[in-house]
Structure formats: C-alpha cells, structure tokens
Amino acid sequence: MKTIHVRKDNLSYWQQSSEQLVVALGNFDGLHRGHCKVIETAKKIADKKELSLAVMSFFPHPKAVLGKGDDDFPYLMPLNKKVKILREMGVENFYIVEFTKNFASLSPEAFIEEYLINLGVQHVVAGFDFTYGCKGAGNMDKMKDYVADRIDITKVDKVVHRGEKIGSTGLRRRILAGHLEEVPYFLKRNYKTYCSWDGTVLKPDAYYIVPDEGTYYVTLKDEERVYHTSVQIVREGNHKILRCSEKNLLMPTGNVIVEWHNRVTESRVVTV
C-alpha cells in the first residue's frame, strides 16, 4: 500500500500523478465497524469496476485543529497502526490530507474539484454523516448534486448497536469512562494500547487514550510472551500512570501491547 501525505504545497504533484480511483472518505480514527463498512463498500465497488481502492483521511483531526489543539484531542489510534489495518483490508492508496485552518476554509466545491476530481477519483464512498468544506457545509447529497455525472457517489447508512450509531465519539466516551466490555461491539475486537514497559510502569505511546482511574483486567503481549494480569491506573498530576498489579511480573522491559478487557474496581487515588 502506498501512503501519500497531501499538503497544499504538493497537491498539484499528486494531481498530475493521479490514477483512476474509488475512494473512501472519512477521518477513520479507531477504524470501528462503521468505518469498516464504508471501506468494505468501497472495496466491492473498486473490485467490480477494476479500479484502485483508496482511503482519504485527514490529519490532524479536524476537532484538534478547530478546537482546543492537537495535544488535547483524544486520538484512538496513531497513523502507523491505521496504515497496518488498511493494508490488511486491501487498500492500495492511503491519502493523508494535512488538515489546517486554511484547508478548513475551502468551499465544499473547491474541495470536490481539488481533492477529488483533480486527483482522479471516479467513485466516492462515505458515511451518511460525512461533511466537508468550510464549516462542514457540504454533505453527500450536496456532493451528488454538484458533481452531476462526473463522479459516482455512494452514501453508506449508519451502523448501530442497541439503537446507537457506532461512531468514534461514542467509542472514545466508553474507553475513557472505563466501560471496556462494550468496546468490542464498536471495534469487533478489544481496544489495544501500545506501550513501553520499564519494569515498573507502562507508558502509552502517542495518540492512544487511557481509561479512567481504576483496576482493569488486561492481556499484556510482547514479541514472545502473553501475560494475563491486571493494571491499576492512577493519576499523577495531569498524567495517568499504568502500574501492573502483579509486583513481580517477569516481563522484559521494552514494547508491550495492552489489550483491555474490563474494569475490576474504580479508583480515585491521586498521587503527587
């Protein structure tokens, strides 16, 4: 899979290098079931039309740029892990569009012309609630009206769980609140956090969120071993610290994957 970082200063290069594409549009943070339905729909269309399958996402997240700032936004997954999953899904081109305030000011029509039509997109697939352009003024119905017969448009219906739309916002809320037993309904899998282990604490990598304070059943995995144990999350100042409940855990220091299962107890312990 080719990963393509698109910025304003290299947009014309990628336009000139474009090929005919079916593109799935969205932010795709976390790659939950709703996201996967969009990408899987795009793949079926690409296979039928014998065109390349592309995903177009935006980074930093629009809410990080237009809200409080990148450091405050609770990302679910870093780009390198998103790349791995998309490759496994059969995506051939991953366009990561740099989201800036200038990009956010584009009119819906300019976005369609510059980032879709001029990039060779033949068919667009996105969720029913996807918006684009200045202040999110564009939606899939308006896109269909604007492009007429220049691009085919497929709008994917929402995926629901117990009447609630499966989305990144609901997923973040559950993880942050410690309701990890509900996460597989959104992801089809448990939430995983990549961490570094120094023999005492687990330090999450960038762009992962951490549940609320408390004790959690987890599975820890390194390159060779699997440990079924629990971790305690406590707050030290403005940061959350992950400590293994098993004090003599014989796990080598290095990179570790934490797979979250469920919360055992709540805790409001604050250390300084």
Q: Name residues whose C-beta falls within 8 Å of residue 267's C-beta, 6 or more positions apart in sequence.
A: 213, 214, 215, 232, 233, 234
Residue 120: predicted pLDDT: 96
SS3 30: coil
Residue numbers of the chain with a pLDDT score lower than 70: 68-71, 266-272
What percent of the chain lies above the pLDDT cut of 90? 82
CATH topology assigned to domain 165-271: Elongation Factor Tu (Ef-tu); domain 3 (2.40.30)
Cβ-proximal residues to 227 (8 Å cutoff; 6+ apart), any chain: 219, 220, 221, 249, 251
Question: And the tokens for 184?
Answer: 């597989």
Ordered by start, the domain boundaries in the chain are 2-158, 165-271
Q: How far apart are CA 233 and CA 236, in angstroms?
A: 10
Q: What is the pLDDT of residue 259?
A: 97
What is the dihedral sign for C-alpha 31, 32, 38, 39?
positive
End-to-end distance of the chain based on CA atoms, in angstroms? 46
Dist CA 214 CA 232 (whole Å): 6
Cis ω for the linkage preceding 74 (within 30 of 0): no
What is the structure's pLDDT at 272?
Answer: 33
**Contact 245/232 with Cβ under 8 angstroms?**
yes
DSSP 95-109: EEEE--HHHHTS-HH
Q: What is the pLDDT of residue 73?
A: 86
DSSP run (H or E) holding 59: strand 52-59
CATH topology agreement for domains 2-158 and 165-271: no
pLDDT confidence of residue 270: 39
CATH for the stretch 2-158: 3.40.50.620
Both tokens of residue 243? 């400590």
Q: Residue type at 186?
A: F
